[in-house]
Structure 1
Amino acid sequence: MSLRSRITLVVSGFTALIVLISGGVIHQLTEDDIRTHLDNRLYWQVEKIAEPGLVSNILTNRRFYSSLSGTDQALKVGSFLDAQIPTRVFVGRDTAIATGGFPNFPLISFPEGFSELEADGTKWRVYTKILKIPPSRSPRIPPSVTIQTAMSWDSMSTTLRDFRERFFIIGIIAVIGAGIGGWFLGGAALSPINRLRIHTETVRSSQDLSQRIPGNFGPDEVEILAQSLNEMLSRLEFNVQKTEQALSSSREFASNVAHELRTPLTSMKMNLDMLERYPDAATEERAKMLSNIIREQDRLVNRMESLRLLARGDLSEEDVFEEIDFAQLIQDVIGSNQNQKSKSRINLYLPPDLPLLRGWREGLSVLFRNVIENAYVHSGVVDENLVISISAEVIDKWIEICIDDNGIGIDEFEREQVMGRFVRGSKNTGTGSGLGLSLVDQQVNIHGGSIEISRSPLDGARVSIKLPIVI
């Protein structure tokens, strides 16, 4: 069932409920009002007859009134009371006055006040008042006078029945009118949502996530919904672009990995084939081929390790981050490198009381180790003459680390390119994999920092890295 139909049903049902409740209340109020009006007429008729002068007149002339015919009695009585209200006056147990239309009640003891009696199948509303007569020496004076007025319920029932019939017709008209109004009201209320649906279907059919749903739909709720849909489209577009970029990068990465791994594997296979083909080769030649195999195997292992670190860096999460003492971290990295390159010289200049970093310990170790190793491999300077200088400075909320070497440097036009994966500089004469600086760039981005390559004061390359500190 559509929302418009539901709105129509709800409005019609609510209107029917209101009509039913209000009809019941009005019916009860009308019935009470008619009853009160009826009781007042009965009451005031009795009170008028009960006036002392009129009672004395009736007592004095009761035999005269009782001897009159019905028409003559009605004329006489109509001169001092409302003849339209059936009235009966008892003097003792004898009827002194009885107007036309008074019901033929059985001779019973009537309760004083209002009561409801039935005669000849008709229900009557009766008001009875008993007047006590002071004792008199004359036996002709009765001890009491009873005055009764009565009106049939038929007129009241007819009025209420007519009211119910009219109200029923009015209620049906009101419910039908409310249903029609609810249908058009629902259409008007849902018009902005229908326009929003049309725009959404346009985006869905075009499969163009760059499209946005225009505003100005009217109600604030629909505007908020359109804004939420636009935000969702923006996130979807961003995620799709990231996915497409990731797929493209994965294809390129896989192609580069295949190429990079093929080279050492091919070289190792050639050397192994030579060993198999010439088992009697000279010892010097066999040693040379074995040395080549070991070198290519080391190269292969290094590249696989670099690829592992790249993959882990891509999947790193916030929960691996911790507070890290940079001074201790860089000293550990330098100590590890100098164990392998003992002939080179690394100068470290750190200010006292450096603030802590928040980061991934292994990732930061990879970052600085690769910058230092890049200087070893690509500086073009033998280890004995290589000088590496590391300094740090706190600037606002950042710590800037500068790593300088006295090598051949990196040309300005290549400083951004060498951050790519499997990219080597044009001056590269070493055996690097082209993954070192891409690992550095990855870790800098993971930690929310920045990296810049420039000319070093030592005439080589300067790698400047900015990382946020713990405040």
Structure 2
Amino acid sequence: MSRLPRSLRSRITAAVAVLVTVVVALAGLVIVVRIDHRDRTDVDRQLAARVEKGDQDAEKLLDQSGHPDGGDSGDSGDSGDSGDSGDDYGGLLAGSQSLVRLISGGKVVAQHGETPTAPLPPPTRDGYRTVDAGGQTWRSLTRPLDTGGYRLEVLQDIDPIERRLADNTAIVAAVTLFAALATAGGVWLLTRIILQPLERLRTGALAISADTAGPQLPAAERPQEVADLSRALNSMLDQLRTSMESTRRFTADAGHELRTPLTSIGVTLETLQRNPDLPTSQRAKALEAMNAEHRRITALLTGLQTLARGDAHALPERTRVVVGELLDTAVAQAARRHPTTTYELTADASTPVQVDGWPVGLRLAVDNLLDNAALHGRPGGAVEVRLTRDAGTVRIGVGDDGPGIPADQRHAMTERFTRGTRTRSPGSGLGLALVDQQARLHHGTLHLGRSPAGGLEATLALPAAEGEERQGEPTRD
């Protein structure tokens, strides 16, 4: 593989040149073989036609040789003039480099026609054969005669056919070489034009910097493959820029959120150090404030870690989750965390509602909804939790009786580190962002609306587990 050309242009040129060479060479060889086969078939046909007149030729050969009893071949070796117009042997012998021989007892007793440059051995069997002698190639056909015990052999010099085969082969080789060179040159020039869009993409990619919002790669219209690649790369760049901007904003917001509690803890520690004789009550208040800030930092870091894992899709295997049982446990613990808030859970217990997902992620989403409702609702108020099912969708609704969120701000509340203008309680602004992320990871949605009590109602819609749809459908008689 290391011997292959490195550039795409060279590889395309080499591949096309090799392909054209093979195709032209094979096509030329097929033509040459067909022509040669036709020539040799024509010779065999002429020999067969001549042998059909074997008895007449034998009588003429014996009369001309003067040895009707089958004299020595040397005495009959005087061949007639192949150009003599009085030749009785017709077109086969007249100027056609042909030869007719009469064989008896393994010896040539008479012959007429072209004189070979070297003696030709008598045939040992009947039928066709090819003989090489003295640099000449002869095609021969031998058959026995009906009378006299003679065998008649008709020969044709096929050196012209051999030369034609060699000439045609040389022409095919020359044409193949020319076609390969012409193709390589043409493809080398054409690929320069064809690959120009890719070269523009490469130049554009070198000009892109991670610190700037542009430029994008140049858009290509033709060819279609390069146009698709250009669009795909530009889409990838847009996603990377969006992700980078989100990461930068996320980092900046996280630093800002962490700076406030850390600064507060630092101020409190400095106060305690400068005032070792601080009254016990004031020291207790300072320590409680530090504990509160510590809990805030811990909650913030936990939320950031959860969001990061969700963004990286570092998730365990999906399992079957019974939503009713998860809600019962979550509501009971939320009531202990917020003893002044009343939680009311309404669910259809006739059929267990199940979803496929991650119990920890779903529990995190539900806990955030329950805590948000208690924190942003009316002090000492009530939170209504409803579990419903509609065809193949499971809905978990959590509504409070607080001031709610204006309709034009609801979508923004799912962004990270975003807090409403009407909120009165502390928080990191990650609660609804975590719920929205879990909804998307479970192929569901989070909808924010107005609750019947006038506050915020958050509805988490999730696809039911496989088989739940049929279980929830009413039976028919």
TM above 0.5, yes or no, is: yes
1:214 lines up with 2:222 in the alignment: yes
Give the direction of change, closer, same or farther, for the CA distance of 1:366–1:210 in structure 2 (3 Å limit). Answer: farther
1:388 lines up with 2:383 in the alignment: yes
Match of 1:461 in 2: 456
**Alignment gaps of 5+ in structure 1:** 63-78, 104-108, 132-144, 216-225
Corresponding residue SS for 1:293: helix
- Which residue, 242, 246, 261 being the options, matches 1:249? 246
Query: For the Cα contact (< 8 Å) 1:127–1:148, is it kept in 2?
Result: yes
- Which residue, 402, 426, 433 being the options, matches 1:431? 426
Answer with 116-125 or 331-340: which moved more.
Answer: 116-125
Tell me the alpha carbon deviations over residues 385-408 of structure 1, each in whole angstroms, 9 at most, x when there is no partner.
210001132223212222111112
Structure 1 segment 313-462 matched on structure 2, within 5 A:
313-316=310-313, 320-351=317-348, 352-379=350-377, 381-382=378-379, 385-462=380-457
Give the direction of change, closer, same or farther, for the CA distance of 1:12–1:39 in structure 2 (3 Å limit). Answer: same
Report the Cα distance in structure 2 between the residues aligned to 1:112 and 1:417, rounded to whole angstroms.
104
Give the direction of change, closer, same or farther, for the CA distance of 1:164–1:275 in structure 2 (3 Å limit). Answer: same
Query: For the Cα contact (< 8 Å) 2:261–2:294, is it kept in 1?
Result: yes
1:311 lines up with 2:323 in the alignment: no
Deviation at 1:279, TM superposition (A): 1.0
Corresponding residue SS for 2:331: helix
Match of 2:33 in 1: 21
Query: For the Cα contact (< 8 Å) 2:51–2:152, is it kept in 1?
Result: no
1:287 lines up with 2:284 in the alignment: yes
Report the Cα distance in structure 1 between the residues aligned to 2:164 and 2:260, rounded to whole angstroms.
100
Query: For the Cα contact (< 8 Å) 1:209–1:233, is it kept in 2?
Result: yes
- Which residue, 294, 298, 308 being the options, matches 1:297? 294
Which structure carries more helix by proportion?
A: 1
Report the Cα distance in structure 1 between the residues aligned to 2:124 and 2:284, rounded to whole angstroms.
139
Give the direction of change, closer, same or farther, for the CA distance of 1:44–1:421 in structure 2 (3 Å limit). Answer: same
Give the direction of change, closer, same or farther, for the CA distance of 1:362–1:190 in structure 2 (3 Å limit). Answer: farther
Report the Cα distance in structure 2 between the residues aligned to 1:4 and 1:419, rounded to whole angstroms.
57
Report the Cα distance in structure 2 between the residues aligned to 1:186 and 1:310, rounded to whole angstroms.
57
Corresponding residue SS for 2:195: helix
Between the two proteins, the alignment pairs up a number of residues equal to: 407
- Which residue, 26, 32, 41 being the options, matches 2:44? 32
Deviation at 1:340, TM superposition (A): 1.6
1:14 maps to a residue whose letter is: L
Length-normalised TM-score, structure 2: 0.71
2:384 maps to a residue whose letter is: S
Give the direction of change, closer, same or farther, for the CA distance of 1:10–1:123 in structure 2 (3 Å limit). Answer: closer
Give the direction of change, closer, same or farther, for the CA distance of 1:276–1:317 in structure 2 (3 Å limit). Answer: closer
Deviation at 1:170, TM superposition (A): 3.5
Tell me the alpha carbon deviations over residues 104-163 of structure 1, each in whole angstroms, 9 at most, x when there is no partner.
xxxxx99998899999999997877585xxxxxxxxxxxxx6768676x5xx22xx1122
2:354 maps to a residue whose letter is: L
Q: Aligned-residue CA RMSD in angstroms?
A: 4.4
Deviation at 1:463, TM superposition (A): 1.1
Deviation at 1:431, TM superposition (A): 1.4
Tell me the alpha carbon deviations over residues 408-463 of structure 1, each in whole angstroms, 9 at most, x when there is no partner.
21122221222111111111221111111111111112122222222211111111
**Alignment gaps of 5+ in structure 2:** 1-9, 70-85, 94-98, 117-121, 206-215, 467-477
Give the direction of change, closer, same or farther, for the CA distance of 1:15–1:99 in structure 2 (3 Å limit). Answer: closer
Corresponding residue SS for 1:320: coil
Report the Cα distance in structure 1 between the residues aligned to 2:329 and 2:267, rounded to whole angstroms.
40
Match of 1:134 in 2: none
2:51 maps to a residue whose letter is: D
